[in-house]
Structure 1
Amino acid sequence: MNIVELKKHVSDFRGALDRLDWFSMPSNFRKFPLGTCGAISDILAEHLYKQGIQEIEYVSGVSCQHRQNSHAWLEIAGYIIDITADQFPDCNEPVIVTDDHTWHHRFKESVRRPAGFLNGFKSTSRPTLNAVRDLNIVYKAALACL
């Protein structure tokens, strides 16, 4: 897949998320994009897998300046894919697909793993059944808005 196709899939998915009624979603998602970057990254990864994109990594890190802040995004072949960076006051881009890592370098990497949550969860950690259920609810709702 080329970068133009990737950007289209990512932008379309963010658009679907923007159309969701977040108050009807599980409570931990209701402030989207605020505080949802990890879960939304895994949900986006599942959508990208369905589009035939492979080798997707989930990356998260802790802010170098403000240790209470963390962030998560996807990486594919050196490209950053981020659809929740606009939760931060200095970023007004709802969709980032770039090979420029400058903005994301403010977060010291703490986790890098295969992205996604279906098929046995690709993480080394095991989420609760409720967490997987919540991810599926949002994922299916987003797909319905595409």
Structure 2
Amino acid sequence: MNIFELRKHASDFRLALERLDWGSMPANFRQFPAGTCGDISDILAEYLYKQGINDIDYVSGSADNQQSHAWLEVSGYIIDITADQFPDCSDPVIVTDDHSWHQRFEESARRPAGFLDGFKSTDNMTLNITRDLNIVYKAALAYL
């Protein structure tokens, strides 16, 4: 997988997300991109899997000022389509092997990305999260 393909897929997906009526989406997504980085990263991962991209890591971390953030990593490339929620980042899509901006977030979790195969629990909270992720995922796919 090369950086140009990753950037195209990430950009296409971000454009699809920008077309959504966020007021009709589940409440925890309505401030997109703010506060949605973890969920959007898992949703983007499902789209990337569908494009034939594998071995995608979900990475999250926290900064000294108690801010947290999440993004994807594939073969050493960062894929981040929500970094523009931060005042010092105006790029809606980041696909890079330069980790300098993301290094401010001390890594607290790394796991296989995605949600369709990962959430096996049957408790109500997990089922509700999976339902909400599916709503946004399917809505975005309608624009791709």
Whether 1:28 aligns to 2:36 is no
Per the TM alignment, residue 114 of structure 1 is displaced from its structure 2 partner at its CA by: 0.3
Structure 2 Cα separation of the partners of residues 84 and 101 of structure 1: 15
Counterpart of 1:26 in structure 2: which amino acid? P
Q: In the alignment, which residue of structure 2 is the partner of 1:91?
A: 89
Alignment partners' CA distance in 1, 2:143 and 2:59: 26
TM-score scaled to structure 2, two decimals?
0.94
Aligned partners of 2:63 and 2:97: how far apart in 1? 20
Q: TM-score, normalised to structure 1's length?
A: 0.93
Question: 2:58–2:72: 8 Å Cα contact kept in structure 1?
Answer: yes
Partner residue of 2:117 out of 116, 119, 128: 119
Give me the whole-angstrom Cα distance separating, in 1, the residues matched to 2:2 and 2:119.
27
CA distance in 2, matches of 1:103, 1:119: 30
Task: Look up the match of 1:57.
Answer: 57
The alpha carbon displacement at 1:135 in A equals: 0.0
1:107 match: 105
Name the residue aligned to 1:46. Answer: 46
Amino acid in structure 2 at the alignment position of 1:72 = A
Aligned to 1:144: 142
The percentage of counterpart residues that share the same residue type is 76
Indicate how the Cα distance of structure 1 residues 63 and 40 shifts in structure 2: closer, same or farther if over 3 A, else same.
same
- Listed as ranges, the matches of 1:5-16 within 5 Å are 5-16=5-16
Runs (4+) of structure 1 exceeding 6 A deviation are none
Deviation of the 1:144 alpha carbon: 0.3
Question: What root-mean-square deviation, in Å, do the aligned CA atoms of Structure 1 and Structure 2 show?
Answer: 1.4
Structure 2: gaps of 5 or more residues: none
Mapped to 1, the partners of 2:110 and 2:2 lie a distance apart of: 23
Matched residue SS, 1:145: coil
